Every structure is written in C-alpha cells, then in structure tokens.
Amino acid sequence: MEDREFLMIPGPVSVDDEILEALALPVRAHYGDDWTRLYKHAASSMREVFKTSGDVHLVFGSGMAGVEMCIASVLSPGDEVLIPSNGLFGDRMVEVATANRLQVHTFHPGLAEAITAAQVRAALAEHPGVRAVCIVHHETSVGILNEVEGICRAAREHGALAIVDGISSVAGVPFEMDAWGADLCVTVANKCIGGAIGVAPVAAGPRALAALDDGRPKAAGWYLNLATWRRYTELWGDWHPHPTTIPTNVIEAFDLALIRLLEEGVDNRCRRLAAARDRVRDGLEEMGFEMLAPISVASPVTTAAFGLPGMDVSDYLEWLLKNHRIRIGGGLGELRGRLFRVGHMGRAAEPEAIDRYLRATADYVENAGLTGAGRKG
C-alpha cells in the first residue's frame, strides 16, 4: 500500500486511484450544457442509490450540512421533533434541531442497543404534537444500526415526517427510501459510495416537498434550504441546476464513483461490505476481542470492539499508524480509551487490506503480551 496513511475508519475513505485522478483534471465551469448533463447524471444515479423517485440535490458541504438542510427546510421554529439517540451523531441531530429553534424530545437506549420502532411509537404517544422524527440509520460512534424501516412507518402512522441521516449507511446498508416511507434522507460521497469529500446528496419525497410549500415560515436560511435548491433547479435547470458555484472536480469524481457503484450493484456492494465486516469481526474475536454490539444490531460497515484487558487502546492506534500506516478510529465520548472502531467502506473492504490489518493487530497483541477477552466494564 502507498506510504500515505490508509484509512480504515468509519469514513472518510481511501478511494480508488481512478477517482483520485478525476480530482486532478482541469477545472471545468459549473454551468453549461456539458456540466448540466454531468450533474443531472449524478443526481439520477443517486435516485437509484436512494431507491427513490423524489428530488435529489447534490449539496456542496458536509453530511451535517445536509442534516441541517433536511431538518430546517420543512420545520418551523417552535415545532416539536422527536430525535432518539444512541450515540454522538444522534446527539448532533439534537444540537442541529435545537440551534434551529425547534422543540426537541429525545430518549437514549442502553449501551449497544438499537433504537427500535416500538420505542419511537411509545415516545410519539407521549408527545402527540411531534411533526417530524429524525433518526440516524447507522450510528458510527458505536457501530450499530437502528430500526429505520419500522421507525419511518411509525412516523408516518403518527402523521409526522421521517428524516433519515443515511450518511454512513446509504450504498453500504440496505435502504429503500420510497418503500420504507422516508421523507428526507442525506448521505455523503465519502463513505459507502467511495467518493471524495465535499458532496452531501439530499433526497426529498412528496410529503417533504409538500411541507416546503405549506405556507409556514421555516427555520432554514437561504443556502441550506431545500426550497432554494428546488427553485434554482426549476428556473435554471437547463444550464445551472443549483444555486451556487459547486466544486466541479469533486462532482466529476463523485459521478465516476457512482458509475462504479451501479456497475457493481448497490445490493452487491452491501453484501461485499457486510462480508468484510464479518471477516474483521471473526478475526478480532479469534484474538480474544469482545465486540460492543451483538451481530443482530451490528453495523455491516463499522466494527466497534473493546480493548483487551490491560491494553492501551491509544497506544494500539498510534502503533498501527506509525508502523503500518493504517488509521482506525478510537472510541468517542465515554468510550474513549476503551473502544476502537474499524470501517469497512471504500478500499478498507478489500481482502488484502483486511488481512494486513488483522496481521498487524495479531503482532501487536503478541508483542504486548496481551491475552484474554476484552470487556465492557
């Protein structure tokens, strides 16, 4: 592998060379016939990935920019929202909603527990005024999948919008926006899709679009506002289908990543990343590591494991990076120093990468004289 650090974190990812080469092409204009065809091709490809017939916009920004757009575009200051959280990124959705002057209701399941549809239904019964349910599909801080399909159904039954953070799941975990009844979803180029940083595709279904036009003043400003993007798509769609200048090279690389994804097939990509997870999980368990999440709720694209007894997790992370140029993630918040996280997105899912990581970890365990099972305590 190259001398540059190799990313086996839960995103961003190390990307294929041909996608990197697209980033180095001469800069092109962000308008005109050729550009518009490219942009619309990428947006159409994302409809296939989201599995939606709704609107898709390729927002220039981070995943959290897309989250803010989804929440603020369809809700008004003072609206009640339900945002259950089982990790850092659920907590971040709470922060975004609070910053946009929404009234937030939340709850937290136990460590290593998924958020379930039954829990959401119970919370909605307690808070009948909730207008939207916001949920993280794949909580990367703990490597757990939440019951998004059932949660979307519960929100719809309540008459609330279902807003999904699919940043670390779309294209790597089964997700069907229309069939599941999600109204808004955001993902990013630089995780399961395997592209470069800088694009946060946002998809909006008919109920979300109706909420844009319901006459109520929204929390959103101008840029992170779906109404703005939709207006420019309608007015300038034949030559400039977005409101501002966006990074043309990043979109060009993104379009290539989508071409490769659809050639492989989204369902095949999901199976391949899940197989990578299983190989890493099995290899670590053979060395005595204990996983944070049982396989029933474990993410197919991130593995979270506890350090072995007596293991200095920070030293292990530094040793992997210094000696093998492999970067994996550490624990976040209260799990810092107790947990490490391995991503299975992008090139990190390659069998050669997994074998190299497991061999390096086995060497560390042996050299440090570590034995026995990891523990949650």
pLDDT at 1: 44
Task: Compute the C-alpha angle 58/243/182, nearest 5°.
Answer: 40
**Cβ–Cβ under 8 Å, residues 87 and 141:** yes
Strands 80-82 and 144-145: unpaired
Task: Tell me the per-residue pLDDT of 72-118, one tens digit each, with 9 for 90 and over.
Answer: 999 999 999 999 999 999 999 999 999 999 999 999 999 999 999 99
Task: Tell me the per-residue pLDDT of 168-223, one tens digit each, with 9 for 90 and over.
Answer: 999 999 999 999 999 999 999 999 999 999 999 999 999 999 999 999 999 999 99
Domain ranges of the chain: 6-11+265-367, 17-262
Residue with tokens 């959290």: 64
Q: Which residues of 195-208 are buried (b: 16+ CB within 10 A; e: fewer)?
A: bbbbbbbbbbbebb
Q: Which two tokens stand for residue 276?
A: 């990578």
Dist. CA 319–CA 326, nearest whole Å: 9
Task: Tell me the per-residue pLDDT of 234-283, one tens digit each, with 9 for 90 and over.
Answer: 999 999 999 999 999 999 999 999 999 999 999 999 999 999 999 999 99
CA 257 from chain center: how many Å? 16
Phi, psi (rounded to 5 degrees) for 372: 90, 170
Which CATH number is correct for 17-262, 3.40.640.10, 2.60.40.10, 3.40.50.300, 3.30.70.100? Answer: 3.40.640.10
pLDDT at 206: 98
pLDDT at 377: 45
Which residues have CB under 8 Å from 352's CB, separation 6+? none
- pLDDT greater than 80 at residue 371: no
Task: Tell me the per-residue pLDDT of 133-177, one tens digit each, with 9 for 90 and over.
Answer: 999 999 999 999 999 999 999 999 999 999 999 999 999 999 999
Name the superfamily (CATH) of residues 6-11+265-367. Aspartate Aminotransferase, domain 1 (3.90.1150.10)
Q: What is the rounded end-to-end Cα distance, in angstroms, of the chain?
A: 36
Task: Tell me the per-residue pLDDT of 301-316, one tens digit each, with 9 for 90 and over.
Answer: 999 999 999 999 999 9
